[in-house]
Amino acid sequence: MDLSSLTEENANRWNRANLTRGPEFARVAQRLFKAKARYKAVEKATGIPWFVIAVIHERESSQKWDASLAQGDPWDEVSTHVPRGRGPFNSWEDAAIDALKKCPPYAAKWKDWSAGGTMTLLEQYNGLGYSKRGLPSPYVWSGTDQYKTGKYVADGAFDPGVVDRQLGCAGLILGLKALDPSITFTGEKAPPPPDVEPVPKTKPAVESKTIWAQIGTILASIGGLLASDWKVVAVVIVAALAAFVIWDRAGKPDIRGWFK
C-alpha cells in the first residue's frame, strides 16, 4: 500500500474510531498535557505539532524524560538500539530534535498534518509492516475499535494472536483533544468557544423626575380608562353627590383637621 492510499485509509479509520479503553487514555492524556510547554519547545524547532511529539514520547519511552524520543535509550549516552549511535545530548529536548530531524522517518520533513497524514507519519515511525498485511497498526490504533489483534513481537516476527496492550497514538490524541480543544489537524476547524452568559448590566438609579413622570403616566392611563367608560364616570359622580349630601346634612363640618 502506497502512502497516499494509507493516508486515505487512516483518515477513514480516524473518522470511525471509538475508544475501547477510555479511562486509560484519559489518565495518560492528563500526564502528557501537563508537559505541553516542553513539547511546544520542540515543536518550535521542528515544525511538528506538539501533540504528535507527545504521543511519540509516550509510545517510545512511556514519557520518561531521561530516555530519548528516538528509541528510549538514555539520551546522555550513545544509543545502542535503532537508531544506533545517536548522542550523547545535553537535554531531552536536544535528543528529541535530533530524533525528529535526523532519524527515519525524518518527521520534521513531513508536511501532511491532516488526520490521515498524521496517523500515516506515526505509522511510519513504527514501520509499515502492518499496512503491507492490510492491517491497522497497533502503534496507532491500539485501544480503539479499529484494532483487534496481531503484533510484531520481534523484527520480522508477526504473531496474529498477540494483542498490543500499549495505548495507541490515535487514542492518545483523542484524549488530548478532549483536554485541549485548540488541537486541530490541517483542514479541520477548531470547535467554537463555549457559550458565555453575558454579564448583566447594573441598572442606573432612576431619577426622581423620572419616577414622577412614570406616576403621571399611570394616573393619566387610569383617567383615560374612566373617561372611556361612561358607567364608571356615572358611578363616580353619584358617589360624589351622595358624599356631598351627607356632608351638608351633618352641618358642613370642617374636615381640614382630619388630614393634620
Query: From the CB of residue 125, how many other CB atoms can be counted at a distance below 10 Å?
Result: 25
Do 31 and 119 lie in one domain? The reply is yes
- Rounded Cα distance between 82 and 88, Å, is 15
87 conformational bin, left if phi > 0, alpha if psi -120 to 50, beta if neither: left
| C-alpha dist (Å) from residue 163 to 26, 139, 157, 228, 256 | 21, 11, 14, 89, 103
Do 131 and 50 lie in one domain? The reply is yes
Do 169 and 223 lie in one domain? The reply is no
The answer as to whether 40 is a domain residue is yes
Higher pLDDT, residue 152 or 201: 152
Do 38 and 94 lie in one domain? The reply is yes
The answer as to whether 227 is a domain residue is yes
Do 167 and 215 lie in one domain? The reply is no
- Rounded Cα distance between 211 and 224, Å, is 20
Does residue 242 carry a pLDDT above 60? Answer: no
Do 26 and 150 lie in one domain? The reply is yes
Do 150 and 254 lie in one domain? The reply is no
Does residue 111 carry a pLDDT above 70? Answer: yes
* Percent of the chain's residues with pLDDT above 70: 72
Cell numbers at 107, concatenated: 518527521
Q: What are the helix (H) ranges across the chain?
A: 3-16, 22-34, 36-46, 50-61, 92-102, 115-126, 129-132, 138-141, 169-179, 208-228, 230-249
- Under DSSP, is residue 56 helix (H, G, I), strand (E, B) or coil? helix
Do 116 and 38 lie in one domain? The reply is yes
The answer as to whether 201 is a domain residue is no
Higher pLDDT, residue 78 or 154: 78
> For residue 69, which phi and psi values (nearest 5 degrees)?
-65, -25
> Final residue of a domain: which of 132, 164, 179?
179
19 pairs with which residues across the strands?
Answer: 144
Do 172 and 215 lie in one domain? The reply is no
Is-above-0.75 flag for pTM? no
Confidence band (pLDDT; 50, 70, 90) for 240? low
Do 149 and 225 lie in one domain? The reply is no
**Range of weakest confidence among 106-115, 162-171, 245-254:** 245-254
Instruction: Tally the domains of the chain.
Output: 2
**pLDDT (average), residues 38-63:** 97
The answer as to whether 192 is a domain residue is no
The answer as to whether 48 is a domain residue is yes
The answer as to whether 39 is a domain residue is yes
Indicate the average pLDDT of the chain.
84
The answer as to whether 218 is a domain residue is yes
Confidence band (pLDDT; 50, 70, 90) for 222? low
Q: Which domain holds residue 245?
A: 208-259
- Rounded Cα distance between 130 and 124, Å, is 10
Do 160 and 236 lie in one domain? The reply is no
The residue among 59, 139, 42 whose CA lies nearest residue 96 is: 42
The answer as to whether 199 is a domain residue is no
**pLDDT (average), residues 197-219:** 52
Residues 6+ apart with CB under 8 A from 202: none
Higher pLDDT, residue 204 or 16: 16
Does residue 206 carry a pLDDT above 50? Answer: no
